[in-house]
Amino acid sequence: MQLHDIISSDQSAVHRALLNFKAAINRKGIWCPKDDIQFVFLCGANIDEKTPSKRRQDIIDFSLHQIPHTKFFLAETIFNHLDGHNSNLLDIEHDLSSFSDYIIIVLESESAFCELGAFAMKEELRRKLIVINDCEFKESKSFIKRGPIDAIVESAGQERILYYKMDKEGKLFGDRIGDIYRPLYDLINKVPNLRRRRAENIDPTGSLTKNSLRFIFDLVYLMGPITAEELSRIIKILFIKSADNKMKNLLAVLLAFQEVQKINTKYFVVAKERKLFYEYDFDCYLLKTAFKNMYYKYDKLRFE
C-alpha cells in the first residue's frame, strides 16, 4: 500500500491523528512564541552565480552580530533549492517579499534597479522597502529618484533611503557600507512583542506568510522524514484545498534558512531545529508517533 493512500484512509491511525490536529487548528488552538523574529529580504548584485556582492555579505555579517531577532535571506539561495521549478523569477521574488518584514535593495547592479521598480509598484511593498544608494545620486532628477525612490519616501518616509559614498569596485571588494549600519540598525532592530498571541494566517494554501511557512516547518518536524508530495496530501486533509503549487517554494525557503535539510535522497526532508515553532492546544506527540509507526511498518528505508 502506498503511503499516500494510508494518509488519506479514514481507517489509518495517521489520518485519525490528522483529524484531531485539524480540530485544534479549527478552534485556533495554536500560539506564537514570545520571542518572534523578523525576516529581511536582501537584494543586490552578485560577484558570480553563487556569490553575493561583498556589500551584501558585509550587511549579512553585520546583522548576524548586531541585529538580534532577525533573519536575513537572499533570493538566490532559495532559487538554488527550486530544482526544476517552472515559475518565473519575478513571481517567486514577489512571493518571497510577501512574508518579509523588510526588503533591502542595494542599488549596485541593473538587476537591483529592476527589483526596485518591481517592488515599488505595489503600495504594500513600498512600506517594507529600504534602499541603499550612492550619495552621488542623492539630488538626481532621474526617473529612479523621482519615480520609485520618491514613491517609497511618500509611503514610508525619507529615512528608508540610505546614502553613502560607494566605491566603483565595492561590489567585488567592499567599501564604506558600514556608514549606513547605524541608521539601518535603527530601522530594523525591534524589541520583540512578548505578549502571547494566537497564530493567524497559517494556512499554506492561501497567501505565503511567515506564519504559514513556520507551520510547514512544524509539520516537517512532526512528520519527517517526509516528501513534498506527502506534505501536500496532509495539507489537503487539514485545509481541504491543495498546496501542490506552493509546497516547493515553501520547502525551498526552509532549506535556504537551514531550518530543514534533505536526507537519504533529495526527496526527503527533516527538521534541523529540535523543537516546534508554535505551541499547540493538542498533544503533538500522538501525531509524531503515528507517523513514525507508519514509516517503520511500511517504509523503514527512509530512516537509513
In a domain, 21, yes or no: yes
Same domain, 52 and 170: yes
pLDDT at 90: 63
Same domain, 65 and 155: yes
Same domain, 139 and 58: yes
CB 192 within 8 A of CB 69: yes
Q: What is the domain count for the chain?
A: 2
Same domain, 222 and 257: yes
In a domain, 174, yes or no: yes
In a domain, 182, yes or no: yes
- Picking from 188, 221, 256, the residue at the C-terminal end of a domain is 188
DSSP H/E element including 59: helix 54-66
3-class secondary structure, 219? helix
pTM: 0.83
Cα separation, 42 vs 56, in Å, equals 7
Per-residue pLDDT of the chain (304 residues; tens, 9 = 90+): 578 788 888 888 999 999 999 999 999 889 988 777 888 999 999 998 778 999 999 999 999 999 988 889 887 777 776 655 555 566 666 667 777 899 999 999 998 998 899 889 888 889 999 999 999 999 888 899 999 999 999 999 999 999 999 999 999 999 999 999 999 999 998 876 667 788 888 898 877 788 888 999 999 999 989 988 889 889 999 998 777 667 777 888 888 888 888 887 667 888 988 889 999 999 999 999 999 999 998 888 787 7
In a domain, 193, yes or no: no
pLDDT tens column, 105-125:
999 999 899 889 988 988 888
In a domain, 210, yes or no: yes
Cell numbers of 141, please? 532628477
Same domain, 12 and 50: no
Same domain, 227 and 182: no
Same domain, 155 and 51: yes
> In 3D, which of 59, 88, 93, 61 has the Cα closest to residue 76?
93
Same domain, 57 and 157: yes
- Picking from 188, 215, 237, the residue at the C-terminal end of a domain is 188
* Ranges assigned E (strand) in the chain: 30-31, 38-43, 46-48, 51-52, 70-73, 102-106, 129-134, 161-164, 260-263, 268-271, 279-280
Instruction: State the CATH number of the domain containing residue 159.
Output: 3.40.50
Cα separation, 294 vs 304, in Å, equals 15
Same domain, 153 and 234: no
- Picking from 159, 188, 217, the residue at the C-terminal end of a domain is 188
pLDDT at 245: 67
- Find the domain containing 276 and state its range: 3-30+198-303
CB 33 within 8 A of CB 278: yes
Same domain, 85 and 184: yes
Same domain, 224 and 169: no
In a domain, 239, yes or no: yes
Instruction: State the CATH number of the domain containing residue 243.
Output: 1.10.10
Same domain, 134 and 7: no
In a domain, 224, yes or no: yes
In a domain, 207, yes or no: yes
